[in-house]
Amino acid sequence: MMNDTTRAPKGLVLHSMAGYYDLLAGLITLGRERELRERLGQLATVALGESVLDVGCGTGSLAIEAKRRVGESGAVHGIDASPEMIAHARRKAAKAGVDIAFDVASAEALPFSDDTFDVVLTTLMMHHLPRAVRELLAAESRRVLRPGGRVLVVDFERPANKRGGLLARLHRHGHVPLREIVDLLGRADLRVTEMGSVGVSDLQFALARKPSSIDDRSERTTAIQRALPPLPRPRWALPAGLVALVAVHLIVLRSAWAALALGTFALVGVGVVVVRHVGLAGGISAILRRHR
Ligand SMILES: C[S@@+](CC[C@H](N)C(=O)[O-])C[C@H]1O[C@@H](n2cnc3c(N)ncnc32)[C@H](O)[C@@H]1O
């Protein structure tokens, strides 16, 4: 049964952000967004000929990666509550020459029949939803999945105090603890098979399976814990990220003071990186030691 899609979507729907979202994603991943999307496609083991739904697809980057994996014989749908995001995703898919069905819809009322998809993806979006809606999304994901189908949930973990670096400190985003994701998937009768860290920023994943009719309902699945190796960080990423961050704040906040403060911060940051990489710090401290 399909659900009612006429109600207003609940959660933090991104409208004006659509035009800058890819820039921000590039910033948060320090230029490794493409590698991140490839990794997520691998994690969900999206394969040739499968049908995939990306819930809260944003500008469609992961849906495009999924389409590359399922090929001509497979099908990819992306939904988002933001018409601006969907318009952006359609343009991107057309540019990439891939055929993906993007629609404006709510995560809590997916406009698809039961047992439609092999894979449901929902990345970086749980933290946009109120708790009750997260439960609805888990139940809806289960409903539209075929028996034996997989759901991949990826979101930010609460940053550990001393980690995260300068960029993480400047750009704070919401988070959902992995434990909470695992619990809510379990309550929706989805069996978590793997969980752990994605290897980029504070991103964590949980991969779950909808039980099939031949599954033993009483059997308990123990999830495999995995920490994927960190994606290598390009050397230019931090200075470029700081400059992009200033640009985003300047455009989005339209605040000269924010831009000035961040600009100064960025210059200091670039200086620190240059000093570290060129090795000036060692040279200066050696000179200071000699003159003491
Ligand atoms: C941070 S973005 C993540 C986009 C994409 N999944 C990614 O990995 O980059 C969160 C998206 O969730 C969408 N969203 C928020 N609440 C929603 C809801 N109730 N139903 C559908 N989409 C929603 C927002 O409009 C936004 O595009």
Which domains can be identified in the chain, with CATH numbers?
16-227 (3.40.50.150), 237-291 (no CATH)
Mean pLDDT of 155-174: 62
How far, in Å, from the CA of 42 to the mean position of ligand 1? Answer: 21
15 vs 206: which has the higher pLDDT = 206
Query: By the 8 A CB rule, do 48 and 66 touch?
Result: no
Please tell me the predicted confidence (pLDDT) of residue 178: 95
End-to-end CA distance of the chain: 79
Index of the ligand 1 atom closest to the CA of residue 25? 9
How far, in Å, from the CA of 21 to the mean position of ligand 1? Answer: 11
**Beta bridge pairs of residue 133:** none
> Which of helix, strand or coil describes residue 255?
coil
pLDDT at 94 exceeding the cut of 70: yes
Question: Whose C-alpha lies nearest to ligand 1, atom 27?
Answer: 58
Question: What digits encode the pLDDT tens for the residues 18-34?
Answer: 898 998 888 778 888 99
Q: How confident is the model at residue 81 (pLDDT cuts 50, 70, 90)?
A: very high
User: Which stretch, 23-27, 226-230, 255-259, has highest mean pLDDT?
Assistant: 226-230
pLDDT at 221 exceeding the cut of 60: yes
Please tell me the predicted confidence (pLDDT) of residue 1: 43
Query: By the 8 A CB rule, do 89 and 57 touch?
Result: yes
173 vs 286: which has the higher pLDDT = 173
Q: How confident is the model at residue 236 (pLDDT cuts 50, 70, 90)?
A: low
Question: Whose C-alpha lies nearest to ligand 1, atom 14?
Answer: 13
Please tell me the predicted confidence (pLDDT) of residue 282: 55
How far, in Å, from the CA of 237 to the mean position of ligand 1? Answer: 25
Distance separating alpha carbons of residues 171 and 42, to the nearest angstrom: 27
> Which of helix, strand or coil describes residue 195?
strand
Index of the ligand 1 atom closest to the CA of residue 14? 25
Q: How confident is the model at residue 75 (pLDDT cuts 50, 70, 90)?
A: very high
User: How far lies 88's CA from each of 59, 65, 103, in Å?
Assistant: 6, 16, 11
Neighbours of 161 (CB within 10 A): 6
Paired tokens of 210: 């909808």
Q: How confident is the model at residue 274 (pLDDT cuts 50, 70, 90)?
A: low
Residue closest to 205 by CA, chosen among 185, 232, 233, 231: 185
Q: What is the mean pLDDT of the chain?
A: 84
DSSP 1: -
How far, in Å, from the CA of 139 to the mean position of ligand 1? Answer: 17
Give residue ranges with CB within 6 A of ligand 1: 9-14, 25, 56-58, 62, 80-82, 85, 106-108, 123-125, 128-129
46-50, 88-92, 193-197, 233-237: which has the minimum mean pLDDT? Answer: 233-237
Q: How confident is the model at residue 167 (pLDDT cuts 50, 70, 90)?
A: very low
Distance separating alpha carbons of residues 25 and 201, to the nearest angstrom: 11
Mean pLDDT of 259-283: 65
Distance separating alpha carbons of residues 40 and 30, to the nearest angstrom: 16
pLDDT at 279 exceeding the cut of 90: no
Distance separating alpha carbons of residues 156 and 190, to the nearest angstrom: 21
Q: How confident is the model at residue 281 (pLDDT cuts 50, 70, 90)?
A: low
218 vs 62: which has the higher pLDDT = 62
Question: Whose C-alpha lies nearest to ligand 1, atom 15?
Answer: 13
Residue closest to 56 by CA, chosen among 3, 147, 133, 132: 133
Index of the ligand 1 atom closest to the CA of residue 57? 6
28 vs 219: which has the higher pLDDT = 28
How far, in Å, from the CA of 130 to the mean position of ligand 1? Answer: 13
Please tell me the predicted confidence (pLDDT) of residue 29: 84
How far, in Å, from the CA of 170 to the mean position of ligand 1? Answer: 21
Please tell me the predicted confidence (pLDDT) of residue 186: 96
Question: What digits encode the pLDDT tens for the residues 101-156?
Answer: 999 999 999 999 999 999 999 999 999 999 999 999 999 999 999 999 999 999 99
